[in-house]
Amino acid sequence: MKGLAFFAPILFLIGSLLGQQAASPADAARYGQYPTDYKEIIMKWLDTQLVDAPSARIEWTSEPKATDYEKNGQHFSGYLVSFTVNARNRFGTYTGKQQHGVIIKNGEVIKGLGLGY
């Protein structure tokens, strides 16, 4: 009887684990390769977008997530990454935290969100 009481919870856990399905990876043909180096990709892109990129204070608010985005009849598929930026403007003062995002596909930013786009 003690053996059954010991093995019952173990069998229950094994059964529940077998019942779970692993999340399928995003379709690489549609979204591109998952950007494991997304922070470097975004920082390189921000160098071309900000007045004083080295002074930027970035807080990452999400991991890359496969997404479809449409605006003004244009459609973008890729990985969405959200972050906040506090950077200096042309006068040298910090602008305060502002929410931004980008869509990355195949290792490059294809759409910026929140930087006047």
Q: Measure the CA–CA gap between 25 and 19, rounded to whole angstroms.
A: 18
pLDDT value at residue 114: 81
Q: What are the pLDDT digits (tens) for 18-39?
A: 443 333 467 888 999 999 999 9
Give me 24's structure tokens.
């399928």
Angle ∠(70,40,77) on CA atoms, nearest 5: 20
pTM value is 0.73
Q: What are the pLDDT digits (tens) for 53-107?
A: 999 999 999 999 999 999 889 999 999 999 999 999 999 999 999 999 999 999 9
Q: Is the pLDDT of residue 12 over 90?
A: no
CB 91 within 8 A of CB 97: no
Q: Measure the CA–CA gap between 25 and 36, rounded to whole angstroms.
A: 14
Q: Measure the CA–CA gap between 40 and 69, rounded to whole angstroms.
A: 22
Side-chain half-sphere CA neighbours of 84 within 13 A: 8
Q: Is the pLDDT of residue 3 over 80?
A: no
